[in-house]
Structure formats: C-alpha cells, structure tokens
Amino acid sequence: MTTTDRNPGSAGGDRASGPSHGGPDDEYTPAQLAAMDRTELDRLGARYDGVEVLHVEPGPVPGSALEKQATRQVTMWFALAGVFAVAFLVVYAGSGWFLPDWEWEVGAAPWSALFTPLLGLAMGLSLLCIGIGLVQYVKKLLPHETAVQDKHDGSHFDRVTTGATLMSGLDKSGLPRRKLLLGTIGGMGVAFGAMLIAPLGGLIKNPNTGNPLGTTSWAEGVRLLRDDGTPIRPGDQQPGSLETVFPAVAGGNFQADAATMLIRLRPEQQLSEEPREGQSDFSYGDYVAYSKICTHAGCPVGLYEQETGRILCPCHQSQFLVTQGAKPVFGPATRPLPQLPITVDDEGYFVARSDYIEAVGPTYWNRERI
Amino acid sequence: MATTTAAPGAPTTKIGQAALEVDDRLIVAGPLRRTLNKVFPDHWSFLLGEIALYAFMILLVSGTYLTFFYDASMEEVVYEGVYAPLRGVEMSAAYESTLGLSFDVRGGLLIRQIHHWAALLFVAAIVIHLIRIFFTGAFRRPRETNWLIGVVLLVLALLMGVTGYSLPDDLLSGTGLRIISAIILSLPVIGTWAHWAVFNGDYVGTEIIGRFYIAHVLIIPAILLALIAAHLLILVKQKHTQFPGAGRTEHNVVGNRLFPTFAGKATALLFIVFGLCAALGGLVQINPIWLWGPYNPAQVSAGSQPDWYIGFLDGSTRLFPAWDINLPGDYTIPALFWPTVVGAGLMFTVLALYPMIERKLTGDTASHHLLQRPRDVPVRTSVGAMALTFYVVLWISGGNDLIADKFDISLNAMTWFGRIGCLVLPPFAYWMTYRLCLGLQRHDREVLEHGIETGVIRRLPSGEFIEVHQPLGPVDEHGHGQLAYGGASVPKKMNQVGGARRAIKGFFKPIEEPAEVQRQAELEARGLEAEQSDRQTISSGRPSEGGRPSEGGRPQAPRD
C-alpha cells in the first residue's frame, strides 16, 4: 500500500485519541477519574453542568417488606398492560376467525357492535397500566432526589465578540459605503420575492364573470321539483306546510343556491299577509316561495313553525316571518329571504316566473350592485 | 492502541466499548450528559403543555393511518359499502371513503375516533396550558417570544381542527363549510375575490375538500412542527420557571434531573394521555358521520354545533345584532364580518400582545423566573377572569339552542342572555376576582402574623376563651409572627406543618416498623427544609426586594 500512502489524507491518522478538549479533561486525569466511584462521577458531571444534588431520599431498603410490596405492585401493572395488549390482539385478529365477525350490519350479532369498544378498552387499559406502572415505579422504587441547577443570563463576552464578528463582516463587505449596490440588492430582493409568490396568482379568478353570485338556475317556466324529482300542483300540500323545491334542471337538487321553500299559507295567514313592496304578485294563491339559503351565513333555513309563521335558521337562530315577505324578526340576519315569483304552467304544475330578482345567500361587499 | 486499552477508566464491558465507539465518531457524551442532568421543576401544572405535545404525537400517528384510506375528492359516487341505511345514496368520494374507513377497515373506526378525541384534547390542553401561563405570569420577560409562539400554535391548532373536521364532507361539516364560505365572502372589498381564490369559484365547487386536505395534512402540520420545535428549544434554553419556595431563586431551578426521575414521569404521562385517548376512541362515540348523512346544501339538522373550540365563534355570531353597515355607492359591510373576522382577530391580537401591554402598563421590564401566585397580582388575575367570562358566555351561546331545548327556555331569551351577559358578566367577574384575591392575600398575611388555627380552645384565668394559634416561625414580644410573605403557598392547616404523622404503609397488615417511620420523619424534618430555613426560608433570592418577588407595579393591596 505504498502508493496510496503518498496521497494526502491516506497516511498517518491518529489511532489514539486526539488532543483533549481542555477544561475538565485537563483537570481530571483518567487515573483520577478511575479512582472515583459511580456516584461520585455522576455528581462530578452534574456539578460540571451547574447541577447540585441537594438531598437524596433513598428508595426503599433492598429486601425490605416495603420494597417487595412496591416491586410487586409495579410488576402487576406491567403484567396487566401485557395482558390487555394480548386481549387487543385477540379481539383484533380473532374476530371473523374464531370469534364472531366484526363487520357491522343492521341486525348483525352484538359482537360487531362491541368490536370497536373492546379494542379501545383493551388498548386504553394497556396504555394506562403502563403509565400507572411507571408512576408507581418513580414514586415507590426510585430514590427521591432534589437537585438545583444554576440559571445563567447571556454572557457579556459572547455578546461583544459576536457583535464584533458580525460588524467586521459587514465592514469588509463594504455595503454601507456602496449605496448603489445596496439599493440594487434591496430592489432585487423585492422583485425576487414577488416572483416567488407570483405563481399563487393561479388561484385568482374573477368572481364577476357571468355574475354567478347574482343568478341561480331558476328562470321563466322552470318547474319546481321535489327532492325526488316530482313536480308539484297547487293542492298537493296541506295549508301550513312547507316543501323544499329545486329547479327542474340537471343536478338542480345539489345546487348550493337554488334550494327554495314552497310554503302553503293557512287561510288566516293569507289574510294577514303583507308582501314586500312590488312583490305582491310573486305568490300564487295561498302559495309563497322563498329562498332556503339564509341571508346571514348561508345555512339552509330549515325549521318552520307554522303556528307563528316563523322560519328559523338552525345555525345562528335568525328568524324570518313568512307572512311579511320573510323579513328577519330576530337574530343576526339583516335581509329578508329573497322571494321566488311563481305561477302555474298549462299542465297545472308550479313553475318560476323568473329568476330571483336579487342575489340569494349571505351578504357581501358589493351585493347591492349585482 | 495498546496504550488506550491499558489506560485507566477504559471500558471493560461490551456495552461500554460500544458506547466508546459511538462517542468516538459522534462526540455525544457531553451533550447527552448535559441533557440527562437538566433539572425540571416539580409541579403538576407544568405538565399541561406536555399533554398538548403528547396529543399532537397521537394526532400525527393516527392521522397518518387515516390517510391510507381517505380520498379527498368531491367526485359524486354511489355508496355500496356495508352500512345498509346509506346504500345507493349519492355522496362525495370523501364521505364514501370516510364511511369506508369507519365500517370496512378493521379497527379503522377506533383510529378515526382516537384522532378526533386527541384533537379535542390537543386544543383543550393548549388552552389550559395558556391559562396557567397567564395567571402565573410565566409570559413575562424573557419569555414573551415563547408566549407569542404559543398563541400562534393555538390559532394553528384551531385551523387544524376546522380543516380536519371538514374533511369527511358530511352534513354537519358541510354546514360549517358553508359558514366559512359566508365568512370569507363577508370580507370588505376583497370578499368575493377571496372566496373565488379559496373555493376556486362559487360555493361549493369541487376543489375545497382537496385544498383543505393538503392544508390539514401538510401545510399546517409542517408549520406546527417547526413552531413546536422552536417552542421547546427556547424553553430548554431559557430553562423552566418555578414557583417561589424553599431554596428557589430567580437564578436557579429546583427539581428533578431529567434522568431517571423526570423521564420516568414524562413517559408515564405520555402513556396515560395515549391510554385515555384510546379508551375514549373505543368507548365514547364521536362524530358518527353515518348518522348525519352526506352533505347537501339544501339540508341541515337542528342542533348543529362545531367542535368545542370553535363554539365561541359560533356564539359570537349568534349574539351579534343584525347590523349591516351600508356605505355610499351601495357597498355593504355584512354583520357577519364583525363577530367572526374582527372579533376573533381582536381576541387573538390582544392575547398575543398581552405581555407587551402588561409590560407597558406596569413598567416592569425585569427578567422573571419565579412565578407569581394569581392572588398576588389581582389586576392581572381579574383581567384574566374577565376575559374567560366573556369567552365562556360566547361559548355557552354557541350551544344556546341546545340549552333552550333541554331546559325548555325561550331561544330568544337565551340569545338576549348572551347579548347582555357578555357585556355585564365580565366586569362583574373582574370585581369578584379582585375581592377574592385581596381576601386570599389578607388571609395569608393573617396566618403569617397570628399562626395557624389549631382548633384548641383555651380558657384564660379571666374567663375569656381564646383559640390557640401555632406560629409558623419566630415571634416578637407580642406573639406576632415575623416571617415575611415570600410569594409561596402558606400552610394553613396543622397537618401541612407536620401536625399528623404519616400513615404506616400496608393494606392488610403493616409492612413498616412504626419506629422506623418515626425516625425517618425526624430525619426529614432535619433535611432540606431545616437546612434552608437557616437562610431565610421563603424569599425570591433578591434581598433588595425585601424577599418578595417583583411587585410588578401592580396596585398594592392594603395590608394589615
């Protein structure tokens, strides 16, 4: 191997340890350290780390009744943990093998309903037993030691020398003097940062293209369909009832803004009805149709109390009065639910006379302008 | 080489030689010893942050498992799984895969429920940890940075919760998604643009679940991990705070070394937290999405509540009056904007800036490593109680429909209770907490001056009856105690100063010698406590402050 020996780094090397780190290695020779016992070495190292062990309350005397009892307890907890872990495995792997099937079916064996609770119980108890066993170990078998560690503030020496290193680097770069370079780097940084985040522009879309917020699928002649797709005639509903209807277009019953409530007023409600200005002909006989999307936060306003004619939004408890153009009478909503103008087509089914005349759903900055 | 093996102290055992080989390459012995020797103070309230950390570990592990089966797609599919009631129903692939991992994956439901419970526990532990830090003044200099990181962690945890519980795309979370959409729309000027950017168009679109998914499993966890690492590194660097007590000063930490005592306790806590989550996940059903059904924008169920940590926002939204602001040019600032964006923004901003605000108001810029008892800082404690009361009123209002339903109260009355309560109750809480703090302070002083009530009644020759008091320390010629209050807990029962002997151990029969126990007790009395009492038992270690930890510029309680 004489050839490789000539290459730098391949020859020599130090088989023995390098020079010691100074500090404690200079103060304590290996021979001195070898003369100390384990506790002394432990304390010595601790002292070197700024830790002083003040007081040690020894654990139970080895061989004493106290120690035997504590050991028995800790052993029992860990053994229990193992037993529960095995129980978990048995339930997990055994279900569908030598135990009943775990898969849940309506009317299936009770085992499938117990499967997840048993798994959780076994796993939970196993982990808890380990935890309790460890606590018992620390409390009953370990010596209780009180130690104090010094807390140091920052070092003045470090601050001054580090500051000097940083500032001398800055001086060497000459940047404070080279104003044009500094300005260019600043400008470059801004442009560079803008370039890095620019691709996020792909997220931006124009919300005003095609006015999606101001229009729904309702239009003149579009039938009102139930969720199951059947059309509705006047007289299908009892007075005082509410039916959620959707526009007769493809996927109409999944559209987020088209859901509408078709409400048949009771005779006395019809007498006291005060529609919104200019919308008195939006109803058809004793039928009125309002948007189901709350004008507050967009939840479906689902709960209709026919006694009082109030519709309640279950999300934030806005309440709307159907006999007064669904105006908000309580809660955080500020605007009435938009009303859908309805009539009946030549086959006698309900149809819309047009789209909503205002935007449905929650309020936003430029809603009035749409 | 021959010299090294012969050197004194060279390892003789196999494991010792292996350790030497490792240290020869990685030089870890020094840092490892420093770590093992690190001293941790011994108080239960310091474990609250640890619970949050362990809950986060559970979330990482259980969440990773869930990703094996979850499909973040909003494509419409028809359910054909084992859950018969939903067979043939159209739903999103996200909902279908969540049903699949609940019903078709062996043990999947357990892991899903563990994940959900751990999430609830995670936020709860963060909040309780924050409350502990606040009321004991642990956020004071030099720990403002860690307070700030902690508040950001809390906000991120809430975002984790919201993006996480939206993923199953069930009817309940869909309703939440709709409200998130409305909140984004409510932003002045940029609302519709922001909504189009987040949802890739009008509500609900086909992108949002996929985007929430990547935020939930990658973006936010990555930031959380980095911030948790920073939080812990700063903690290790600055060392723990501690309550004032025997031998504890501003310049030391008294407690257990990391190894083996603290490591044993911390590991035990990890297992206990994990065990509780596992037991809850198995035994206590949470978010049974198969009962809610797939999301449909036209449907909602009554009693829709978010997870507990979002409840305060739901409550503030329910309470806020219907105040749209109409601006010239037909522009509107919706009522929804105030309780959600502005309200939550203000709450978290004030929370984040609190250390700076207090420093400004009190002029206390000193470094503090000793904690304060809440009673000793009545203004801060009362401000905290006020904020908590406000929060709790909002939180209760988030479920006011359930309370109205279960207790047969008018729903509108519950709303008005919340509206008035969130304004009236916090000042009341401030006043009451302030009086409580002063009362507790006075009682501490009274016990220090007159001693502990022993319950022993003595009749004086004059016929007067007096109760005998046990002084806590040396007394002056009038029998008044001379110990100054040092910010530490004052014993108020005879048993706390050794009035009763320790019980002899053994369940069926004694397993200790009573005489030996007595000898131990006497040894203990001469131990640390006795040793410390020679040098001013309870003091901050700053004699310049008269043995009291910083006054912090707080209003001084009248003292007797």
Predicted local distance difference test score (pLDDT) of residue B555: 41
CA-wise closest residue to A364 among B316, B335, B313: B335
The number of domains in chain A is: 2
A-B C-beta contacts closer than 8 Å = 334
The four Cα atoms B420, B425, B428, B430 give a dihedral, to 10 degrees, of: -130
Residue at A178 is within a domain: no
CA distance B279 to chain A (A): 4
Which residue of chain A is at minimal alpha-carbon distance from B271? Answer: A131
CA distance B91 to B72: 13
Distances from the Cα of A198 to the Cα of A192, A194, A359, B161, B345, angstroms = 10, 6, 33, 29, 27
CA distance A67 to B443: 42
B256 phi/psi in degrees, rounded to 5: -105, 150
- Under 8 Å CB-to-CB from A183, ≥6 apart: which residues? none
Q: Flag if A314 and B320 touch (Cβ within 8 Å).
A: no
CA distance B480 to B474: 8
CA distance A304 to A266: 13
The DSSP letter of residue B128 is H
Query: Does any CB of chain B come closer than 8 Å to the CB of residue A299?
Result: yes
Q: What residues form DSSP beta bridges with A247?
A: A224
CA distance B72 to A130: 37
**Pair A227, A342 in one domain:** yes
Predicted local distance difference test score (pLDDT) of residue A207: 92
Give the one of A117, A300, A314 whose C-beta lies nearest to B283's C-beta.
A117
- Unique residue bearing structure tokens 């009008």: B202
Q: Best residue in B42, B112, B181, B196 to probe A by mutation, most A CBs within 10 Å?
A: B196
Query: Does any CB of chain A come closer than 8 Å to the CB of residue B239?
Result: yes
SS3 content of chain A, % helix, strand, coil (to 5): 40, 15, 45
CA-wise closest residue to A77 among A66, A85, A89: A85
3-class secondary structure, B126: helix
Residues in chain B: 560
Residue at A298 is within a domain: yes
**Pair A228, A362 in one domain:** yes
- Chain centroid to Cα B338, Å, comes to 27
CA distance B315 to B394: 5
Q: Which two tokens stand for residue A334?
A: 């500020």
Q: Maximum distance among all alpha carbons in chain A?
A: 114
A contacts of B175 (beta carbons < 8 Å): 299, 315
The amino acid occupying position B433 is T
B332 phi/psi in degrees, rounded to 5: -135, 140
Predicted local distance difference test score (pLDDT) of residue B558: 42
Measured over the CA atoms of residue A151, residue A157, residue A160 and residue A164, the dihedral's sign is negative
- Unique residue bearing structure tokens 């170990």: A137
CA-wise closest residue to B484 among B551, B548, B556: B548
Which residue of chain B is at minimal alpha-carbon distance from A45? Answer: B33
- Give contacts of B 18-47 with A, CB under 8 A: 24, 33-34, 37-39
**Pair A217, A306 in one domain:** yes
Q: Which two tokens stand for residue B19?
A: 């350790």
HSE-CB at A263 with a 13 A cutoff on CA atoms is: 31
- Chain centroid to Cα B235, Å, comes to 16
CA distance A230 to chain B (A): 17
Query: Does any CB of chain B come closer than 8 Å to the CB of residue A100?
Result: no
- Under 8 Å CB-to-CB from B241, ≥6 apart: which residues? B41, B136, B138, B143, B368, B369, B370, B371
**Pair A143, A231 in one domain:** no
Q: Flag if B275 and A124 touch (Cβ within 8 Å).
A: yes
DSSP codes joined into one string, A302-364: -EEETTTTEEE-TTT--EEEGGGTTEEEESS--SPPPBPPEEE-TTS-EEESSS-SS--SS--
Q: CATH topology for B48-242+260-297? A: Cytochrome Bc1 Complex; Chain C (1.20.810)
The DSSP letter of residue A64 is S
User: What does DSSP say about strands A310-312 and A319-321: parallel, antiparallel, or unpaired?
Assistant: antiparallel
Give the one of B8, B278, B411 whose C-beta lies nearest to A127's C-beta.
B278
CA distance B18 to chain A (A): 16
Asked whether B244 and B488 are in contact (CB, 8 A), the reply is yes
CA-wise closest residue to B253 among A320, A152, A34, A296: A152
H or E element in which residue A343 lies = strand A342-344
Q: Which two tokens stand for residue A250?
A: 């493809």
CB count within 10 Å of CB A213 equals: 23
H or E element in which residue B325 lies = strand B325-327
CA distance B363 to B343: 28
A contacts of B7 (beta carbons < 8 Å): 30
CA distance B418 to B106: 45
Pure H helices in B167-295: 171-185, 191-199, 208-214, 220-238, 263-283, 289-292
Give the one of A45, A146, A256 whose C-beta lies nearest to B37's C-beta.
A45
Q: Flag if B255 and A146 touch (Cβ within 8 Å).
A: yes
Domain that holds residue A77: 65-149
pLDDT in tens, chain B (560 residues): 444 444 666 788 999 999 999 998 999 998 999 999 999 998 899 999 999 999 999 999 999 999 999 999 999 999 998 898 999 999 999 999 999 999 999 999 999 999 999 999 999 999 999 999 999 999 999 999 999 999 999 999 999 999 999 999 999 999 999 999 999 999 999 999 999 999 999 988 899 999 999 999 999 999 999 999 999 999 999 999 999 988 899 999 999 999 899 999 999 999 999 999 999 999 999 999 999 999 988 888 877 889 999 999 999 999 999 999 999 988 999 999 999 999 999 999 999 999 999 999 999 999 999 999 999 999 999 999 999 999 999 999 999 999 999 999 999 999 999 999 999 999 999 999 999 999 999 999 999 999 999 889 999 999 999 999 988 888 888 888 888 898 999 999 888 887 777 788 888 888 888 887 888 777 776 654 544 444 443 433 333 333 333 333 344 444 44
Q: What residues form DSSP beta bridges with A242?
A: A263
B contacts of A16 (beta carbons < 8 Å): 1, 3-4
- Chain centroid to Cα A241, Å, comes to 39
The amino acid occupying position B430 is Y
Asked whether A150 and B252 are in contact (CB, 8 A), the reply is yes
Query: Does any CB of chain B come closer than 8 Å to the CB of residue A49?
Result: yes
Q: Flag if B186 and A151 touch (Cβ within 8 Å).
A: no
Asked whether B540 and B244 are in contact (CB, 8 A), the reply is yes
CA-wise closest residue to B105 among A333, A132, A301, A95: A95
**Pair A365, A219 in one domain:** yes
Residue at A69 is within a domain: yes
Q: pTM here?
A: 0.91
CA distance B468 to B460: 11
Asked whether B188 and B337 are in contact (CB, 8 A), the reply is yes
Q: Flag if B261 and A254 touch (Cβ within 8 Å).
A: no
Asked whether A150 and A50 are in contact (CB, 8 A), the reply is yes
Asked whether B307 and B120 are in contact (CB, 8 A), the reply is yes
Q: Which two tokens stand for residue B248?
A: 């504890």
Residue at A254 is within a domain: yes
Which residue of chain B is at minimal alpha-carbon distance from A302? Answer: B300
Angle between helices A110-136 and B108-135 (to 10 degrees): 40
- Chain centroid to Cα B4, Å, comes to 52
CB count within 10 Å of CB B201 equals: 17
Angle between helices B48-67 and B220-238 (to 10 degrees): 150
Query: Does any CB of chain A come closer than 8 Å to the CB of residue B261?
Result: yes
pLDDT in tens, chain A (370 residues): 444 455 666 666 656 555 555 567 888 888 888 899 999 999 999 999 999 999 898 888 899 888 999 999 999 999 999 999 999 999 999 998 999 888 887 777 788 889 999 999 999 999 999 999 999 999 999 999 999 999 888 889 999 999 999 999 999 999 989 999 999 999 999 999 999 999 999 999 999 888 889 899 999 999 999 988 899 999 888 998 999 999 999 888 888 899 999 999 998 888 888 889 888 889 998 999 999 999 999 999 978 988 889 999 999 999 999 999 999 999 999 999 999 999 999 999 999 999 999 999 999 999 888 7
CA distance B442 to B558: 9
Residue at A251 is within a domain: yes
CATH code where residue A351 lies: 2.102.10.10
CA distance B98 to B111: 12
CA distance B559 to chain A (A): 33
